[in-house]
Structure 1
Amino acid sequence: HRVRIGLWSNFDAYIISLLKAYYGDAATKDNDFGFNWLPRVTGDHSHYGYWLDMQDGKMEGLFVMGQNPAVGAANGRLERTALSKLKWLVVRDMVETETASFWLDSPEVKRGELVPEKIATEVFLFPAAGTAEKSGTFTNTQRLLQYRNKAVEAPGDSRNETWFMYHLGRRIKEKAKRNPAPKNAGLNALTWDYPVEGEHREPRVEDVLKEINGWTVSDRKQLPHIQNLKNNGSTACGAWIYCGVFPEANRNRANERAPKDLLGHGWGFSWPNDCRIIYNRASARPDGTPWSERKKLVWWDKDKKEWTGLDNPDYKKDLAPDTPDNLDSGVGVTGLGGARPFTLHSDGVGWLYVASGLKDGPLPTHYEPLESVVKNPLYAQQNDPAAQKKERPDNPYAESFGDPRYPYVLTTYRLTEQHTAGGMTRTLSHLAELQPELFTEVSPELADEIGLEHGGWARISTARATIEARVLVTRRMRPLWINGERIHQVGLPYHWGYKGKAKGDVVNDLLAISEEPNVRIMETKALMCSVAPGRRACGTGGSPVPSEQDQDSLTAADFVRVGQASRLSHMVRGD
């Protein structure tokens, strides 16, 4: 990936430092620092890519940690069915999720599509520590690392990810050591020498963070800045963007809690180099003076001949604004000159027009969703031609545009009281009580048109599945007016599943597996559906119709027991 100009010109320093962190003394210049030991990308290893491979019998095993794809992923029916094709499945979670129990109580088992006695998948369910029960870091979308300290011990046999991954790696290395074949050379060279402590022989998370920050190989002195990384094997660094988070042996900047200014310096660490606003050189004019005195971030100090300001400059500190660019033959950030702030780009500019890299064109344009009730109003090309539709018999689509079977627009979203696939919230009494049932939001106009009653039942269908939900008639869900035609839209939160204290059909069963071409995000916010009053027939949708007794028995008394009390000990299940 190394390029001549811009910040990526240092890629060899980043990758060689990473390889030294991986392989230690075994990584030398003579063996390209162990580069050939790295696993290679051999196919589509994105979530939906390998899940379709799983469905087609091309995978043997899977680790699922902190996820619940049986509920949280598109085309949940395919996701659950694919799990039955594995030889083994490892799930680490705080509760038994739908993914862990797909073989026992999934809708496919209830419908007879999967038979537990015939499922060969051996499921290993490991109880996991919760957020307050382990130390570690969070990194949010503003690039801020914040360290958290363990508040309480995890109950029973629950363990954190550090313990699990360390001991899994240790056992794999012990096995590889007994077989010094060439295929095991990378495993045998891998450094896995973290000190352990306590009854459970657990590595200290801060030791891992120190390695991620990086050090000089000769004396293990922590590195304070990305610019300290070298391409000669003298530095080791687990992730170059985090270099500086642990600049000294006893200074964990992610754990600092003394903010000094409005940008938050002194509270956590923002990569890279604790720059709170990335590319902040753009806050100054080409001559180095602020565009706005009120919103200034960094500026050129003519006396000190360096960039300074309210933020750490995301720029070469001594690169003067009047330094001419040399895009044709210049090297590194200096080759960009002093007035091109976007240093990760080889031309130093912001790329509102993306000349290369995007797979569907240099500028965003409008395409209709893969399932749409209307024609594209701009041109004949209805959908993004570069989108990955993944259409197959177990992932069908409605006819777009205007399939008469599915006249309404469907969108999905989240709720404040629930979290993603619901494993951490539907199992907690107070949150389950706040949102006890799956519901669908419809407009008063649609309710009147098809006979839906507020608080009653509706069944929602797509080309993939049929589910049922309680009806919430609300002005929030307004009809769309497109080309003079009224088109109804339907809303569904997607947090429910068939386990926990608050149960409901799996909304993501309705969705198709599809991916946009650049970063492979699935299309979940716009598709086609039908809606009708009443409950679905047992066996046609996400889960069997519960009895009236089941529906009516969810009272306050059911919420006395908190979710953690149901935490599982070791559980190993198979056929």
Structure 2
Amino acid sequence: EPIQNLTWNYLNPREPLLTELAKEINGYDHATGQLLSSFGQLQADGGTSSGNWLYTGSYTEAGNMMARRGTADPTGLGMHHEWAFSWPANRRVLYNRASADAEGRPWDPTRAGIAWTGREWIGDVPDYGRTTPPDAAGAFIMTEEGVARLFSSQMADGPFSEHYEPVESPTVNALHESVPVNPVINWYDGVRETLASEGDDFPHACTIYRVVEHEHFVTQNVPLLVEAMPDFFIEIPEGLAAEKGIENGGRARVWSKRGEVEGVAIVTKRIKPLLVNGRTVWTVGIPVHWGFAGGTSNTHASMANLLTPFIGDANTRCPEFKAFLVNIARAEPRAT
């Protein structure tokens, strides 16, 4: 259906200010026009609005909580509640109720994340109301029973956790060689034919990750973020780079059975070699950002998903993009 009612009352409708957007994401009480201070104030009757409930409390009538730079740390645990904002509710440790016993006494009094005084919780922002008694709710608020689960009847590959290798792996499954991969993963049509098989020359593991300057694919054309992290790159361990003759700042080419990418080589000490079943396995790192357009050097031909296998997780169908097999070589510098 078409949008028939839209509020677009920005100072400059063509280019809203970041503060205007931050306030909208935080949320308003429409009756008073006041900014909300907690997601607990959100109502389902249309009287309030929020761009994302997780960030409610990040920009309140007291100001921009994300801009705070207070360094006080009364817990001594590095929580720094007056430094910026942590979702949700400025909570610094999720499931922090689990750090105290049934009576609300910290398991480790020398490192008390939260503690019950008899009237309220002190320390971190608790997982529920500050005055909610210890026996009123469980520590794991996202499970029906309120406690941790050693097993789950709701998992397609449950009830107990098990180790399986990725569909492309440099090794056999040391725990059970006859069942190397998850037997109930989602196989999409035609995927098996795209996987590396024994005898293919793909000796290295590859993993995909994000960088702090970007949010998946949606920020690759935001000027300030592109300036901070301008383009696609390939992270290569020092030992593998030396073996392949790849220099830091040079160019490298990575390919799998499905496709290939090329980018600036970042030679790093960060990725260590793995000793797997008696042999050394190198891992190459590639950021997920960038794709058909974006960046500063027009590397729209290089995107991580050209390499990855299209396999669905057994429960959520999330793709198995974190581990697969590749090869790598030095690439010639581009003509300027």
**Cα gap change, 1:405/1:282 in structure 2, threshold over 3 Å: closer, same or farther?**
closer
Structure 1: state its 5+ residue gaps: 1-182, 324-336, 536-545, 554-575
- Correspondences of 1:244-263 after superposition (within 5 Å): 244-248=57-61, 251-261=63-73, 262-263=78-79
Question: Any idea what SS the aligned residue of 2:171 has?
Answer: coil
Q: Does structure 1 conserve the Cα–Cα contact (< 8 Å) formed by 2:262 and 2:302?
A: no
Q: What letter corresponds to residue 345 of structure 1 in structure 2?
A: T
Structure 2 Cα separation of the partners of residues 295 and 310 of structure 1? 10
Q: CA deviation at 1:292?
A: 1.9
Q: CA deviation at 1:394?
A: 11
Match 1:307 to one of 113, 117, 120: 120
Please give the per-residue CA displacement for 1:44-90, whole angstroms capped at 9, x wherever unaligned.
Answer: xxxxxxxxxxxxxxxxxxxxxxxxxxxxxxxxxxxxxxxxxxxxxxx
| Match of residue 388 from structure 1 | 186
| Match of residue 61 from structure 1 | none
Does residue 321 of structure 2 align to residue 528 of structure 1? no
Q: Does structure 2 conserve the Cα–Cα contact (< 8 Å) formed by 1:469 and 1:505?
A: no
Size of the alignment, in residue pairs? 318
Q: What letter corresponds to residue 263 of structure 1 in structure 2?
A: M
Q: What letter corresponds to residue 349 of structure 1 in structure 2?
A: V
Structure 1 Cα separation of the partners of residues 224 and 48 of structure 2? 40
Q: Does structure 2 conserve the Cα–Cα contact (< 8 Å) formed by 1:469 and 1:504?
A: no
- Correspondences of 1:358-437 after superposition (within 5 Å): 358-379=155-176, 380-392=178-190, 396-399=194-197, 403-406=198-201, 408-412=203-207
Q: Does structure 2 conserve the Cα–Cα contact (< 8 Å) formed by 1:223 and 1:243?
A: yes
**Cα gap change, 1:290/1:466 in structure 2, threshold over 3 Å: closer, same or farther?**
closer
Q: Does structure 2 conserve the Cα–Cα contact (< 8 Å) formed by 1:214 and 1:223?
A: yes
Please give the per-residue CA displacement for 1:478-505, whole angstroms capped at 9, x wherever unaligned.
Answer: 46441x5x36545354589998459798
Select the structure of larger CA radius of gyration.
1
Q: Does structure 2 conserve the Cα–Cα contact (< 8 Å) formed by 1:288 and 1:300?
A: yes
**Cα gap change, 1:207/1:518 in structure 2, threshold over 3 Å: closer, same or farther?**
farther
Question: Any idea what SS the aligned residue of 2:98 has?
Answer: helix
Q: Does structure 1 conserve the Cα–Cα contact (< 8 Å) formed by 2:246 and 2:252?
A: no
Q: What letter corresponds to residue 316 of structure 1 in structure 2?
A: G
**Cα gap change, 1:220/1:359 in structure 2, threshold over 3 Å: closer, same or farther?**
farther
TM-score (norm 1): 0.44
| Match of residue 11 from structure 2 | 197
Structure 2 Cα separation of the partners of residues 411 and 246 of structure 1? 40
Q: CA deviation at 1:388?
A: 3.4
Q: Does structure 2 conserve the Cα–Cα contact (< 8 Å) formed by 1:395 and 1:513?
A: no
Q: Does structure 2 conserve the Cα–Cα contact (< 8 Å) formed by 1:226 and 1:241?
A: yes
Question: Any idea what SS the aligned residue of 2:97 has?
Answer: helix
| Match of residue 345 from structure 1 | 143
Q: CA deviation at 1:514?
A: 2.9
**Cα gap change, 1:247/1:345 in structure 2, threshold over 3 Å: closer, same or farther?**
farther
Does residue 96 of structure 2 align to residue 280 of structure 1? yes
Question: Any idea what SS the aligned residue of 1:264 has?
Answer: coil
Q: Does structure 2 conserve the Cα–Cα contact (< 8 Å) formed by 1:284 and 1:299?
A: yes
Question: Any idea what SS the aligned residue of 1:196 has?
Answer: coil
**Cα gap change, 1:229/1:392 in structure 2, threshold over 3 Å: closer, same or farther?**
same
Does residue 39 of structure 2 align to residue 235 of structure 1? no
Structure 1 Cα separation of the partners of residues 19 and 224 of structure 2? 29
Q: What letter corresponds to residue 242 of structure 1 in structure 2?
A: Y
**Cα gap change, 1:417/1:202 in structure 2, threshold over 3 Å: closer, same or farther?**
closer
RMSD: 4.7
Q: Does structure 2 conserve the Cα–Cα contact (< 8 Å) formed by 1:442 and 1:489?
A: no
Match 1:513 to one of 310, 313, 329: 310
Structure 2: state its 5+ residue gaps: none
Percent of aligned positions that are identical = 24
Q: What letter corresponds to residue 204 of structure 2 in structure 1?
A: V
TM-score (norm 2): 0.70
Structure 2 Cα separation of the partners of residues 224 and 414 of structure 1? 33
Q: CA deviation at 1:285?
A: 1.6
Q: CA deviation at 1:408?
A: 1.3
Q: What letter corresponds to residue 181 of structure 2 in structure 1?
A: N
Q: Does structure 2 conserve the Cα–Cα contact (< 8 Å) formed by 1:426 and 1:501?
A: no
Match 1:292 to one of 97, 108, 117: 108
Q: What letter corresponds to residue 241 of structure 1 in structure 2?
A: L
| Match of residue 491 from structure 1 | 284
Q: Does structure 2 conserve the Cα–Cα contact (< 8 Å) formed by 1:410 and 1:525?
A: no
Question: Any idea what SS the aligned residue of 1:254 has?
Answer: helix
Q: Does structure 1 conserve the Cα–Cα contact (< 8 Å) formed by 2:54 and 2:87?
A: yes
Structure number having the greater helix percentage: 1
Q: Using the TM superposition, name which of 500-509 and 517-526 deviates more.
A: 500-509
